[in-house]
Chains A and B, each alone.
Chain A
Amino acid sequence: MKDISLVKILPIEPKVPFISMRKIAAVLSVLAIIASIFLFTQRGLNYGIDFTGGTVIEIDTGSEPDLAKIRTVISDAGFPGASVQGIAPDASSTLDHDYVRIGIPLQPETEETGAQAQQIAMKTAQDALVANIDGFDGPQDIRSQEAVGSAVSGELRTKGALAVGLALLMVLAYIWFRFEWQFGLGAVIALFHDVILTIGVFSLTQIEFNLSIIAAILTIVGYSLNDTVIVYDRIRENLRKYKKMPLPEVLNLSINDTLSRTILTSMTTLLALVSLYILGGEGLRGFSFAMIWGVFVGTYSSIFVASPLLLLLKLKRGVNTGNTDAAVA
Chain B
Amino acid sequence: MLFFSKWKITLILGALMLGFFFALPNALPADTRAKMPGMFQRTINLGLDLQGGAHMLLEVDLTSVLEQALENEKETIRQEFREADRLRTETIRVDSENDAVIVRLRDAADSDRAFALLRDLSKPVDPTSISQDKTTRVEKLSEKDFRVTITEANIADIQKRTIAQSMNVLRRRIDPQGTTEMTIAPEGDDRILLQIPGAKNVDDIKSVINKTANLSFNMVRKESNNEAAMELARRPGSLSKVPPGAAFYPEEQGGGLIVERRTKITGECLKTSSEGLHPEGNYPIVNFTFNIRCARLFGDLTQKNIGQRFAVVLDGVIITAPRINGAITGGSGFIEGSFTLESARELSLLLNAGALPAKLVIVEERTVGPGLGQDSINAGKIASMIGLAGVGLFMWLSYGLRFGTIANIALTTNIILIAGALSLMGSTLTLPGIAGIILTIGMAVDANVLIFERIREEAHLGRPPVNAIETGYRRSLAPILDANITTLIAAVTLYFVGSGPVRGFAVTLAIGIVMSVFTAVVVARLITATWLRRKRPKTLPI
Chain A: residues with CB nearer than 8 A to chain B?
1, 3-8, 12-13, 58, 60, 89-90, 92-95, 114-116, 118-119, 122-123, 138-140, 142-149, 151-152, 156, 159, 162-163, 166-167, 170-171, 174-175, 178, 211-212, 214-215, 218-219, 221-223, 225-227, 229-230, 233-234, 237, 257-258, 260-261, 264-265, 267-273, 275-276, 278-281, 283-284, 287-288, 291, 324-325, 327-329
**A3 CA to B474 CA, complexed, in Å:** 26
Taking the closest CB of chain A, its distance from the CB of B307, in whole angstroms, is 40
Main secondary structure of the interface of B (DSSP, over half): helix
For the complex with contacts A147-B362, A171-B490, A215-B494, 10 further pairs of A-B residues with Cβ separation under 8 Å are: A4-B397, A149-B363, A159-B498, A166-B497, A211-B499, A222-B487, A268-B394, A270-B442, A272-B439, A328-B482
CA distance A6 to B396 in the complex (A): 9
Contact of A223 among B383, B479, B487 (CB under 8 A): B487
Known: A265-B445, A271-B387, A279-B379. A5 touches B398 (CB 8 A): yes
For chain B, which range describes its interface: under 10, 10 to 19, 20 to 34, or 35 or more residues? 35 or more
Rounded to whole Å, the gap between the CB of B46 and the closest CB of chain A is 14
CB–CB B365/A284 < 8 A: no
Give which listed residue, A95, A119, A156, contacts B499 with CB less than 8 A. Answer: A156
B477, A328: Cβ atoms closer than 8 Å? yes
Q: Is B371 an interface residue (CB 8 A)?
A: yes
Residues on B with beta carbons closer than 8 Å to the beta carbon of A118:
365
Closest Cβ–Cβ distance, residue A256 to chain B (whole Å): 11
Contact of B443 with A by CB under 8 A: yes
A170 to B497, CA, bound (A): 13
Q: Please, which residue of chain B has its CB at the minimum distance from the CB of A114?
A: B361
Please, which residue of chain A has its CB at the minimum distance from the CB of B506? A215
Q: Are B489 and A171 in contact (CB under 8 A)?
A: yes
| Among B384, B435, B483, contact of A287 (Cβ-Cβ < 8 Å) | B435
Indicate whether B403 reaches chain A with its CB closer than 8 angstroms. yes
B residues 480-508 in Cβ contact with A at 8 Å: 481-491, 493-494, 497-502, 505-506
Q: CA of A58 to CA of B363 in the docked complex: distance in angstroms?
A: 19
**Which residues of the partner chain B approach A327 to less than 8 Å between Cβ atoms?**
478
**One of A156, A219, A271 near B391 (C-beta < 8 A):** A271
- Give every chain B residue within 8 A of A152 (Cβ-Cβ): 57, 363-364
Q: Is the CB of A265 within 8 A of B449?
A: yes
Q: How far is the CA of A271 from the CA of B482 in the complex (A)?
A: 24
Contact between chains at A4 and B400 (CB < 8 Å): yes
Q: At the interface with chain A, which of B72-80, B109-117, B197-205?
A: B197-205
Interface centre among B59, B200, B397, B479 (most CB of A within 10 A): B479
Residues of chain B in range 483-538 having any CB-CB distance to chain A below 8 Å: 483-491, 493-494, 497-502, 505-506, 509
* CB of B56 to closest CB in A, whole Å: 9
Q: Are A261 and B478 in contact (CB under 8 A)?
A: no
Which B residues, 193 to 217, have Cβ-Cβ distances below 8 Å to chain A? 200-203, 206
> Which of these binds chain A: B4-12, B227-235, B453-461?
B453-461
Closest CB pairs A-B (n = 5): A272-B442, A5-B400, A281-B379, A222-B487, A269-B442
Contact check, B494 vs A167: say whether CB atoms are below 8 A apart: yes
B457's partner among A12, A219, A328 (CB-CB below 8 A) is: A12
**Within the complex, which residue of B402, B442, B481 is in contact with A268, where a contact is CB–CB below 8 Å?**
B442
Asked if B438 CB lies within 8 Å of chain A CBs, one says: yes
Query: A139 contacts which chain B residues (CB < 8 A)?
Result: 200-203
Interface digits, B442-470 against A, CB 8 Å rule (1 contact, 0 not)? 11011001101100110010000000000
Q: Does B262 contact A (CB under 8 A)?
A: no
Residue with the highest number of chain A CB atoms closer than 10 Å, among B364, B446, B474: B364
User: Which residue of chain A has its CB nearest to the CB of B55?
Assistant: A146
Please tell me if the beta carbons of B400 and A159 are within 8 angstroms of each other in the complex: no
Residue of B nearest to A220 (CB): B490
Q: Is the CB of B371 within 8 A of A233?
A: no
Question: A222, A234, A237: which contacts B490 (Cβ < 8 A)?
Answer: A222
The verdict on B225 contacting chain A, using a C-beta distance below 8 Å, is no
Given known A-B contacts A264-B453, A265-B446, A219 and B375 have beta carbons under 8 A apart:
no
* B490 CB → nearest A CB, Å: 4
Q: Which of A148, A178, A279, A328 has the most chain B CB within a 10 Å cutoff?
A: A279
* Pairs across A and B, CB under 8 Å, 8 listed: A95-B371, A119-B206, A144-B369, A151-B363, A167-B493, A212-B501, A272-B390, A275-B387
Chain B contacts for A225, CB-based, 8 A: 483, 486-487, 490
Q: B429 near A: Cβ within 8 Å?
A: no
State which residues 353-412 of B face A: CB under 8 Å.
361-369, 371-372, 374-376, 378-384, 386-388, 390-391, 394-395, 397-404
Confirm or deny: B321 has a beta carbon within 8 angstroms of a beta carbon on chain A: no
In whole Å, how far is B517's beta carbon from the nearest beta carbon of chain A?
12
> What's the Cα separation between A234 and B435 when bound, in Å?
31
**With a CB–CB cut-off of 8 A, which chain A residues contact B505?**
212, 215
CA distance A264 to B397 in the complex (A): 11
**A116–B362 contact, CB under 8 A?**
yes
B432 within 8 A of A: yes
Chain A CB within 8 A of B441 CB: yes
Nearest-Cβ distance from residue B353 to partner chain A, whole angstroms: 21
Partner pick for B497 among A93, A122, A162, A227, CB 8 A cutoff: A162
B486 pairs with A222, CB closer than 8 A: yes
Contact among A12, A60, A279 for B386, CB-based, below 8 A: A279
Among residues of A, the one whose C-beta sits closest to the C-beta of B391 is: A268
Known: A144-B369, A146-B365, A147-B365. A260 touches B453 (CB 8 A): yes
Is residue B347 contacting chain A, with contact meaning CB distance below 8 A? no
| B313 CB-CB contact with A under 8 Å | no
Give Cα A324–Cα B269 distance, bound, in whole angstroms: 74
| Interface pair B434/A280, CB less than 8 Å apart | yes
Q: Given that A146-B367, A219-B439, A280-B383 are known contacts, is A3 also in contact with B200, CB under 8 Å in the complex?
A: no
For the complex, what is the distance from the CA of A219 to the CA of B440, rounded to whole Å? Answer: 11
The interface residues of chain A lying within 8 Å CB-to-CB of B501 are: 211-212
Taking the closest CB of chain A, its distance from the CB of B436, in whole angstroms, is 8
In the complex, the chain A residue whose C-beta lies closest to that of B407 is A268
A92 and B375 within 8 A (CB): yes
Complex CA–CA separation, A15 to B385 (angstroms):
37
In the complex, which residues of chain B have a beta carbon less than 8 angstroms from the beta carbon of A178? 482
Residue in chain A with minimal CB distance to B389: A275
Complex alpha-carbon distance, A233 and B446, angstroms = 15
Contact of A271 among B402, B442, B446, B452 (CB under 8 A): B442
List residues of chain A with CB within 8 A of the CB of B397: 4-6
Residue B176, interface by CB 8 Å: no
Given A275-B390, A280-B383, residue A268 in contact with residue B395 (CB < 8 A): yes
B34 on interface, CB distance cutoff 8 Å? no
Q: Give A152 to B397 CA distance when docked, in angstroms.
A: 49
Q: Which of A144, A145, A219 contacts B509 (CB 8 A)?
A: A219
User: Within the complex, what minimum Cβ distance (angstroms) separates B367 from chain A?
Assistant: 5
A217 to B168 alpha-carbon distance, docked (Å) = 39
- With A94-B374, A279-B383: A269-B443 Cβ-Cβ less than 8 Å: yes
Complex Cα gap A4–B397 (Å) = 7
Taking a contact as CB atoms under 8 Å apart, the answer to whether A147 and B491 are in contact is no
CA distance A271 to B498 in the complex (A): 27
Q: Which residues of A contact B388 (CB under 8 A)?
A: 272
Q: Does A284 contact B442, Cβ atoms closer than 8 Å?
A: no
Other-chain residue from B382, B449, B509 in contact with A264 (beta carbon distance below 8 A) = B449
> In whole angstroms, what is the CA distance A223 to B498 when docked?
18
A324 to B206 alpha-carbon distance, docked (Å): 59
Structural contact, A234 and B479, CB atoms closer than 8 A: yes
Q: How far is the CA of A4 from the CA of B396 in the complex (A)?
A: 8
